[in-house]
Chain A
Amino acid sequence: MAEAEIPREGEALRRGWRLRSDQVSGLMLVALAAYVAWENRVYPVGSLQEPGPGYVPLLIAAFLGAMGLLIALFGGKSRALGDIRWPEAGRGLAILLACGVAAFALERIGYRLTVIAMLVFFLGVMERRPPLMVALVAIGFGLISYYVVGTLLSVPLPRSPWGF
């Protein structure tokens, strides 16, 4: 368990009780285990002689719940949740969303157009690279990767409705 940044006694009193990262993550695991056990109720657990499809998931959910509980119980000295810095989270979320849009577009407008548009967004909009470089990298990567993977390695990649 992480023991970084353990506040001294006086400091702890000044700050008051603070949520610890392991306490939060442990309880989240317990909640997840409870959810899985709840979802699992539709599958027959069977008997010990003949375990059903719900048997092992229930066993693992119970194990996860137990581990989550242990993590939360012994997590009092882990890092305070508020001390975890998330400076890259906004940018990371933007990256994930852009990838989500690309995933949505992939089978609709084809691999090449999707990748070119995605790279234009990342390089031109997010990273503000020079337009010429953006165009060269985006178009070059989109076409060359399609040629290597789609044509040379014969991996079927989605095409746009216009055949491109």
Chain B
Amino acid sequence: MPDSTLQNLLLGFSVALDPSILVYAFAGCIIGTLVGMMPGLGPLAGISLLLPATFGLNPIVAVVLLAGVYYGAMYGGSTTSILVRIPGEAASVMTCIDGYEMTKKGRAGPALAIAAIGSFVAGTVGVIGLMLLAPTLAAFALRFGPPEYTALLVMGLFILAYMSGGSTIKTLASAALGLLLGMIGIDVMSGYTRFNFDIVELGDGVGIVPVAVGLFGISEILLSAGQNAAPAVQNPRLRDLVPSREEFRLSTGPILRGSLLGFLIGIIPGSAHIISSFVSYGIERRLAREPERFGKGAIEGVAGPESANNAAATGAFVPMMALGIPTSPVTAVMIAAIMVHGISPGPLLISQQPELFWGFVASMYVGNVVLLILNLPLVGLFVNLLRIPYSYLYPCILAFCILGTYSVANSMIDVWIMLIMGGVGYVLRKLEYDLAPVALGLVLAPMLELSLRQSLAMSAGDYGIFLERPIATTMFALGVVLFLFALKPVVFRKGRDWRKNVGLEQQES
């Protein structure tokens, strides 16, 4: 590790260990855990709802708080998956399978402990990766001009389509829907107000928060309307949490593989934390000596996916911090949180705002430790939340959604957008469309439009500019190749898609 990295990390720890920041990291982890446990409130909705509360805070505190919510939610989602077979958020779906089987066999404690240890290891591996990779990537990105950014964004969308568990063309259609939503509002280059239907407030465009809360929060509530009974919840005791030597041995490999795999997938655009858990589960099942144990309480089925989704959550911060490009709706909201404070994310962020970047990195180390030592002993307390009947829970979540969305800009239009997107999200989910690309397309739209038009202006309208610059050409070529590969199983129905080989078929069902 270079000396400068160590020095910067020390600077980061001097920021993160400041009591005022430590308190927010702690609060973020607790709020995130609770949010992750509540069905209908995933990390995205949780972060979106908390966003207005960060406007009055300094940017470091705001990012530390929201990041705490993010990885806290990742952890919280696993608790409900293991104890009651309800994935608090989508990335925990795979944990349900073997986690709940372990609970039925009276091994809920070790499953929770391995999930926590795996999350801790993965979180730490992810932060090390972020620390080493983000500054290098940022330095490289300084060579990027508009054509490279256009190519990067297009490549990102194609990778997103390729990596999605569902239909490639449906994912691209979802992304196009998001891009069109992003066209609403004033065009920065010409000053034209587009698609605002004579509503003045739409001149500012459609915000990510109302869209995210509507698509992910409200639509989930609409889908689960009518549930009532609180599930029966096992309350594991502290002494039951310790895994056996054999369980530790079986979990070591999946944790390490999941951490590495999750981090790498996390950098890629899309619902990385969801995809990584599916891929990790598929790989562990393939590598297992007795794959038939999977689905019947195999601890590797908990260790791998839990590590992968936590590492992916951290990996997603690499392009966000280094390039200023969100690869997931969560990082898009976090970029919004930084921009509110007048800081522009991008390659210069790390050099111009070292305290923000390195404080954030160090706070993630701290947050991982906080989650480990806080959540295991308090799991008995947290599971009480699951005993609240859903009929009491969902009206309060709805009120939170309205409150959070309104508070972002004190705008009623945002509340209406949220409700409309809730209805749209409900229908899209029924028709098996992926929602994350809609939110991602919305955020990427202004960047894509600006860089494309600037590129064309630079080349006097010649699209050949994308083929003249090596970085842009490489990225475009990669995007197109992946797009063609992704189209292959759609057009030629023979053969087996690679995604099905790693377990992603279960996401489709």
Contact = CB atoms under 8 A, between A and B. Distances in A.
B431 A122 contact: no
A52 B226 contact: no
A88 B226 CA distance: 7
Interface in B405-432: 406-407, 410, 412, 415-416, 419, 422-423, 426, 430-432
Interface of A: 1-2, 4, 21-22, 24-25, 29, 32, 36, 39-40, 43-44, 47-57, 60-61, 63-64, 67-68, 70-71, 74, 78-79, 84, 86-88, 91-92, 95-96, 99-100, 102-103, 106-107, 111, 115, 118-119, 122-123, 127, 129, 133, 137, 141, 145, 149, 153-158
24 contacts: A1-B167, A4-B509, A22-B170, A29-B177, A36-B180, A48-B456, A48-B461, A53-B190, A56-B453, A60-B179, A60-B183, A67-B169, A67-B173, A67-B176, A71-B167, A74-B169, A74-B490, A91-B226, A103-B419, A123-B392, A137-B392, A145-B403, A157-B406, A157-B407
A118 B419 CA distance: 15
A24 B428 CA distance: 12
Interface in B444-465: 445, 448-449, 452-453, 456-457, 460-463
Contacts of A156: 407, 410
Interface stretch (B109-117, B217-225, B323-331): B217-225
Nearest to A57: B183
A72 to B, nearest CB: 10
A95 B395 CA distance: 9
A25 B192 contact: no
A68 B173 contact: yes
B466 to A, nearest CB: 13
B343 interface: no
A63 B228 CA distance: 43
A77 B169 CA distance: 15
B170 A71 contact: yes
Nearest to B180: A60
Contacts, number: 182
- Which one of B394, B406, B422 has the greatest number of beta carbons of chain A within 10 Å? B406
Please list the 4 inter-chain residue pairs (A to B) with the smallest Cβ-Cβ separation, ordered nearest first. Answer: A48-B461, A122-B395, A92-B222, A49-B461
B407 A86 contact: no
Interface residues of B, number: 68
Interface string B173-190: 100110110010001011
Contact of A64 (B176, B228, B461, B509): B176
Interface of B: 52-53, 55-56, 166-167, 169-170, 172-173, 176-177, 179-180, 183, 187, 189-190, 192, 194-195, 218, 221-226, 228, 391-392, 394-396, 398-400, 402-403, 406-407, 410, 412, 415-416, 419, 422-423, 426, 430-433, 445, 448-449, 452-453, 456-457, 460-463, 490-491, 508-509
Contact of A1 (B56, B170, B410, B462): B170
Nearest to B441: A60
Nearest to B392: A137
Contact of B180 (A21, A57, A71, A74): A57
Given A49-B456, A67-B173, A118-B398, A84 B180 contact: no
A44 B170 CA distance: 30
Nearest to B450: A56
Given A2-B432, A61-B180, A111-B403, 10 more contacts: A2-B166, A25-B431, A36-B180, A44-B192, A57-B183, A68-B173, A74-B490, A107-B412, A129-B392, A153-B56
Contacts of A64: 173, 176-177, 180
Contact of A103 (B166, B177, B412): B412
B419 A96 contact: yes
A104 B35 CA distance: 27
Given A70-B169, A129-B392, A153-B53, A145 B400 contact: yes
Nearest to A111: B403
A161 to B, nearest CB: 16
A96 B222 contact: yes
A50 B176 CA distance: 23
Q: Is the interface of B mostly helix, strand, loop or mixed?
A: helix
B457 A49 contact: yes
B195 A57 contact: yes
A103 B401 CA distance: 11
A1 B490 contact: yes
B147 to A, nearest CB: 14
Nearest to B407: A155
A156 B408 CA distance: 10
Nearest to B461: A48
Given A88-B223, A118-B399, A155-B53, A43 B194 contact: yes
A29 B174 CA distance: 10
A50 to B, nearest CB: 6
A102 B190 contact: no
A12 B396 CA distance: 46
B396 A119 contact: yes
Contacts of A39: 195
A74 B491 CA distance: 8
Contacts of B52: 149, 153, 155
Contacts of B180: 36, 57, 60-61, 64
Count chain B CB atoms within 10 A of each CB in A56, A64, A88, A155 and give the residue with the most: A56
A55 B453 contact: yes
Contacts of B402: 99, 102-103, 106, 115
Nearest to A152: B53
Given A2-B508, A64-B180, A149 B53 contact: yes
A143 B448 CA distance: 44
Nearest to A61: B180
A81 to B, nearest CB: 9
B419 to A, nearest CB: 5
A60 B419 CA distance: 25
Contacts of A129: 391-392
Contacts of A2: 166-167, 432, 508
Contacts of A122: 394-395, 398
A129 B396 CA distance: 14
